[in-house]
A = this chain, B = another copy of it.
Amino acid sequence: MTTPDTQTEAAADAPRPEARAPRGFMDRRARDLAAERRILARVSEVYERYGFEALDTGALEYADALGKFLPDADRPNEGVFALQDDDDQWMALRYDLTAPLARFVAQNREGLTKPFRRYAYGPVWRNEKPGPGRFREFTQCDADTVGSARPEADAEIIAMAAEGLAAAGLPEGGYVLRINNRRLLNGLLDRAGVADEGQKLAVLRAVDKLDRLGPEGVRLLLGEGRKDESGAFTRGAGLSAAAAESVLAFTAAGAGDRAETLRRIAEVIGGSAEGDAGLEELAGIDRALAGMGVGADRAVFDPSVVRGLEYYTGAVFEAELRLEILDEKGQPARFGSVGGGGRYDDLIARFTGERTPATGFSFGVSRLAAALRAAGRDSGREARGPVVVIAFSPNDMEAYFGVAAELRAAGIAAEVYLGASGMKAQMKYADRRLSPAAVILGGDEIAAGTVTVKDLDLGRALASDVTDNAAWRAERPGQQTVPRDQLVGVVRRILGEAQ
């Protein structure tokens, strides 16, 4: 053991690493964390009331088990953080919570009671180029039902997602679940004689651009192709004009009323076995949603919804925010999707070779928290600091800690100042921590059996419109000296708590 001084010298001599978080990784402090934890606690409560059980799998999976099923990405095998284990097997950090669920279900398929309902939350990692609002680590919250092919399983996920979003803080009318079914478009394309997989994917990709390009742009992409403003040409899906029109009519069939939408979809796609099956599934979802009291204010059918190209096999859904949100310039901003999901009946078959029906919903926790904050719906208080007990003399530390312990025992956050600074800097410290009060226990107070409590909120409020600084200092507003046994009551009054 060296003495402290020589150790510091040694540290100073060594080459010093730069203190920085990896690109695209975030440090989150009290206020952001509190908002996310509140969302997760409330959503968990809702999901458990729906009979979903918590499951937590590890951060790393074997790469072959993760597979290449990353939704919403064309080149899924890139984009993970991979490393080789000491037995040479490749592992990777999970990029979502569904792939580990599929692995878990396949691994435990003998002992698992089905349908198996589970929810999970935690970080996922994507090795992509980070950017503003785009991180390489973020928190997802998922719920999935494995082992039920019934459309009611989709409906339950949708109803639960809606209730979860409401519990998280979204107001009535602040969000809507938009629901579609892959089998509808498949049926429509079957009827139009489109059998090629690549062509079907190109149709889905074109429809997915409706928001950005509008019907005119999508019509070009469904046909021969489209040249954008820069002159770059995107090859189209190569549909006939008639087929392209029927696809566009299909995507426009959404109406507020769910039954009306089903009628309109039937008109444009009716006829194929696959399309009829898709319609029947949506009708089952509608009935179950009605049974759960979920009306068109919270869940609508919308044939323009696409999601995860090669991933979903039936119903797909997207949670869209409809909050009034203003951007930094005070302009109304569109926040768009906070989550989505659907039916993915082929994922578990990767392991087992047996088709296993599954459906689920996933949302981004930080994204929802950011939306709530932007909409002024962040129910969290400002992160308050603790009551600070001012430390005058090392000899009276025991008394200071007695005060802090008494406050804590009463459920009030408190700390003794433990830095090396004087009174003035200590008051500044309490102020920077947003402490509600400071407790002053000088030699006089200890001798007299009293304690002085300073209301820092009041002090801050008064200081902001004080004109006569000297008079204000002399009066010491918001400061009172009381008998020691009244300490907790006085602090509670300052905190605005019932005694």
Contact = CB atoms under 8 A, between A and B. Distances in A.
A457 interface: no
B353 A61 contact: no
Contacts of A408: 49-50
Interface in A268-291: 274, 284, 287-288, 290-291
B413 A48 contact: yes
Contacts of A353: 11-12, 16
Interface stretch (A2-10, A211-219, A255-263, A296-304): A2-10
Contact of A345 (B4, B64, B127, B313): B4
Given A16-B353, A152-B397, A152-B416, A51 B385 contact: yes
B20 A59 contact: no
Interface string A224-254: 0000000000000000000000000000000
A17 B351 contact: yes
A8 B355 contact: yes
A392 interface: no
Given A21-B107, A82-B83, A351-B19, A386 B1 contact: no
Given A54-B34, A58-B25, A401 B291 contact: yes
B33 A60 contact: no
A349 B17 contact: no
Nearest to A45: B411
A355 B418 contact: no
Contacts of A416: 152, 156
7 contacts: A4-B345, A11-B353, A11-B355, A16-B351, A17-B64, A19-B352, A152-B416
A420 interface: yes
Nearest to A3: B274
The CB with the most chain B CB atoms within 10 A, among A355, A404, A414, A416, is that of A416
Interface in A34-93: 34, 37, 48-51, 53-62, 64-65, 67, 81-83, 85-87, 89, 91, 93
A149 interface: yes
Given A58-B25, A433-B113, A415 B103 contact: no
A182 interface: yes
Contacts of A25: 57-60
Nearest to A313: B4
Given A397-B152, A415-B117, A349 B12 contact: yes
A496 interface: no
B290 A398 contact: yes
Interface in A92-148: 93, 102-104, 106-108, 113-115, 117, 123, 125, 127, 137, 145, 147-148
B49 A28 contact: no
A264 to B, nearest CB: 22
B106 A19 contact: yes
Given A8-B349, A288-B398, A291-B398, A26 B418 contact: no
A14 interface: yes
Contact of A400 (B91, B291, B313): B291
Interface in A376-406: 383, 385-386, 388, 394, 397-402, 404-405
Nearest to A81: B83
A70 B108 CA distance: 35
Interface in A156-203: 156, 159, 182, 185-186, 189, 197, 200
A25 B288 CA distance: 39
| Chief secondary structure at chain A's binding surface | mixed
Contacts of A14: 350
B49 A413 contact: yes
A18 interface: yes
A82 B4 CA distance: 32
A432 interface: yes
A153 interface: yes
A278 to B, nearest CB: 11
Nearest to A345: B4
B58 A59 contact: no
A404 B54 contact: no
A473 interface: no
Contact of A397 (B11, B19, B102, B284): B284
Nearest to A129: B86
Nearest to A153: B418
B91 A352 contact: no
B51 A21 contact: no
Contacts of A104: 19, 21, 27
A412 interface: yes
Nearest to A27: B57
A18 B351 contact: yes
Contacts of A293: 402, 405
